[in-house]
Structure 1
């Protein structure tokens, strides 16, 4: 129960990670601090008078047992830095969160974790690369860590879920869904991994939260893979955190004509390891690839359609019909079957791209 009192303090404006640790150290535990009288709080000189007054006002309004019951009902768990289940990689970073809130299950101490991050307005190429790498790394035992955002993040989570586990680190409370279209994705992640935040449940999204969130993404991971990032972007902030934390940085190269490749190509120039397949990551950590492949055999008509599609540029049904000489109804049916098998991905305007996967070209 002590961790819920710590969480209650965490909800007081002006008490950050350092303040939480000072409270616990001074009073010998969060519960003791919660029930400390006014005189003891002010005489401790841990905080300014303003923050002490905020704390006392907050304490009058909060029922810790009620909060605990509400969070448990939502399947929200708490983990403090002193708990055994707190991720070791994150614990060994500069100023780690004193408390984590999460839905799902955290990785074990001996599990491998790798971050995949990149642009929100990603291209089909970028999302394809993220999904492929995440799926193959998850199949080989990696937990894939990302930020739950649109674009590369969502593709990485979805790819990892096909074969294994993933962690979404949010810039809001774990019960606040952002972007809203990712509600089902977050629920699936909580079932096969974890949705994590350093912010208390109910905390709304704020722009200032995302840079801080990025340090947790890199801190949870042995290394960070950047896929599509502008020269000034959140993904490069994550790469900087990874370097500061002594972690590896990898980058997937992109077109020299694309603004979304300026950041990744810059990282490669600066010494980041170039990645064009999951084997590059597996070799780095001396892990054997999972060679068990799904059945990717295609019929003649399926191969006709699949060979027309691109990994990067979505192609419409009319163009596919022209190139294959198949009827629109046959093309539509086969595209649906390929999409259900995870071999193609439908884009806006009834356009399709290949989904990158080993064992089929």
Structure 2
């Protein structure tokens, strides 16, 4: 667990107060600074931000069996609580209107800041639709993209399966607590995602499958993604909710066309008429985002060079000439990396043009 247990208790405790939704939680954080300070605030100060009932609930402090259950769950390797104050909080979530104040994750949380494409569609997909979802997901994953979906039956499941075959992996955003696998037929898939990808939920542990949870979780699928591909959908499909949210969030929307006689093509055709990009091969998506991967690769190479430099430095005091010889960097490259590392607090600049690693 990355957060100290008492801090985690406070974050979780506030999230479980009835009537205290994300917007109210963010107002409290803006007013008081942190969950600890919210709990320490007087009733009169709290009532300036929330109603008397919520202020009273905050005044009783964070307690209850679900908090203890969650803290025990967080002690298990691979289980995470990620809050707005966490360095691993996805930057993409900060671009959407209603970012989660906190959410739970199980698996590799580094994927939450990877370049991501959402793939969604019908639970009652055709065999060809399932093949398309798996093919596009695998192709995207093999080119370095992470694929986000909702782990539902049909297109979602096929997208996760395809993505797991590539190097980019997958993110499953679910509408239940992370101690529940829904649908149960995807239990083995969920285990594979935990091993190679990551499961995400903003719902507390033990939250069962409820119909109204799934449209809300869709904003997180689109929120994590640079764009959303709809593979098959009828006009009433929840996938069109994800596509609409993606458009509202400034994400690209893609759709695969199909037969004019198939009900599962009508939703995609509707999206195309509304401006979604028609997709019939993987390059229709990759060409749209070539600049994203270029920036991602540049950032990766920069981080790799900085890691190499820190490695060769050890914790000895070294001058620039020695660092150039050991790292293989040019003088200009070394100067840029040293400045970045100094600003990050990883190294200290010493008199005489010498440097030392301090973290």
Determine whether 1:12 maps to 2:10: no
What RMSD over aligned residues (CA atoms) do the two structures have, in Å? 2.1
Task: Give the direction of change, closer, same or farther, for the CA distance of 1:155–1:15 in structure 2 (3 Å limit).
Answer: same
- 1:82 Cα deviation from its structure 2 partner: 2.7
2:100 is aligned, of 97, 101, 105, to 97
Tell me, in whole angstroms, the C-alpha distance in 1 between the residues paired with 2:114 and 2:66: 37
Structure 1, residues 219-277: CA drift from partner, whole Å, max 9, x if none? 00000000111112110010100110111000011111111111001111222111122
Unaligned runs of 5+ in 1: 289-361
The residue that corresponds to 1:137 in the other structure is: 140
The residue that corresponds to 1:59 in the other structure is: 62
Do the aligned residues in 2 keep the contact of 1:148 with 1:157 (CA within 8 Å)?
Answer: yes
Write the mapping of 1:198-213 to structure 2, written as runs, cut at 5 A.
198-213=202-217
Do the aligned residues in 2 keep the contact of 1:3 with 1:30 (CA within 8 Å)?
Answer: no
TM-score, with normalisation over the residues of structure 2? 0.74
1:175 is aligned, of 170, 174, 179, to 179
- 1:74 Cα deviation from its structure 2 partner: 6.6
Tell me, in whole angstroms, the C-alpha distance in 1 between the residues paired with 2:94 and 2:283: 28
The residue that corresponds to 1:121 in the other structure is: 124
Do the aligned residues in 2 keep the contact of 1:225 with 1:250 (CA within 8 Å)?
Answer: yes
The residue that corresponds to 1:88 in the other structure is: 91
TM-score, with normalisation over the residues of structure 1? 0.74
The residue that corresponds to 2:46 in the other structure is: 44
Secondary structure of 1:145's counterpart equals: strand
The residue that corresponds to 1:237 in the other structure is: 241
- 1:188 Cα deviation from its structure 2 partner: 0.9
Tell me, in whole angstroms, the C-alpha distance in 2 between the residues paired with 1:77 and 1:184: 21
2:26 is aligned, of 14, 21, 28, to 21
Structure 1, residues 178-198: CA drift from partner, whole Å, max 9, x if none? 101111111111111110011
- Between Structure 1 and Structure 2, the one with more helix by share is 2
The residue that corresponds to 2:315 in the other structure is: none
Tell me, in whole angstroms, the C-alpha distance in 1 between the residues paired with 2:110 and 2:120: 19
Tell me, in whole angstroms, the C-alpha distance in 2 between the residues paired with 1:261 and 1:109: 31
Deviates more, 1:153-162 or 1:3-12: 3-12
- 1:161 Cα deviation from its structure 2 partner: 0.6
The residue that corresponds to 2:225 in the other structure is: 221
What count of residue pairs does the alignment treat as equivalent? 285
- 1:153 Cα deviation from its structure 2 partner: 0.1
Tell me, in whole angstroms, the C-alpha distance in 2 between the residues paired with 1:93 and 1:245: 6
Do the aligned residues in 2 keep the contact of 1:12 with 1:58 (CA within 8 Å)?
Answer: no
Secondary structure of 1:6's counterpart equals: helix
1:148 is aligned, of 142, 147, 151, to 151
Tell me, in whole angstroms, the C-alpha distance in 2 between the residues paired with 1:115 and 1:212: 15
Write the mapping of 1:294-305 to structure 2, written as runs, cut at 5 A.
none
- 1:201 Cα deviation from its structure 2 partner: 1.8
- 1:66 Cα deviation from its structure 2 partner: 6.1
- 1:109 Cα deviation from its structure 2 partner: 7.7
- 1:23 Cα deviation from its structure 2 partner: 2.8
The residue that corresponds to 1:275 in the other structure is: 279
Do the aligned residues in 1 keep the contact of 2:78 with 2:108 (CA within 8 Å)?
Answer: no
Unaligned runs of 5+ in 2: 294-359
Do the aligned residues in 1 keep the contact of 2:10 with 2:35 (CA within 8 Å)?
Answer: yes
Tell me, in whole angstroms, the C-alpha distance in 2 between the residues paired with 1:64 and 1:172: 17
- 1:27 Cα deviation from its structure 2 partner: 3.3
- 1:141 Cα deviation from its structure 2 partner: 0.4
Tell me, in whole angstroms, the C-alpha distance in 1 between the residues paired with 2:212 and 2:137: 27
Task: Give the direction of change, closer, same or farther, for the CA distance of 1:35–1:236 in structure 2 (3 Å limit).
Answer: same
Secondary structure of 2:171's counterpart equals: strand
The residue that corresponds to 1:266 in the other structure is: 270
Tell me, in whole angstroms, the C-alpha distance in 1 between the residues paired with 2:271 and 2:210: 28
- 1:60 Cα deviation from its structure 2 partner: 4.4
Secondary structure of 1:23's counterpart equals: helix
Task: Give the direction of change, closer, same or farther, for the CA distance of 1:132–1:52 in structure 2 (3 Å limit).
Answer: same
The residue that corresponds to 1:159 in the other structure is: 162
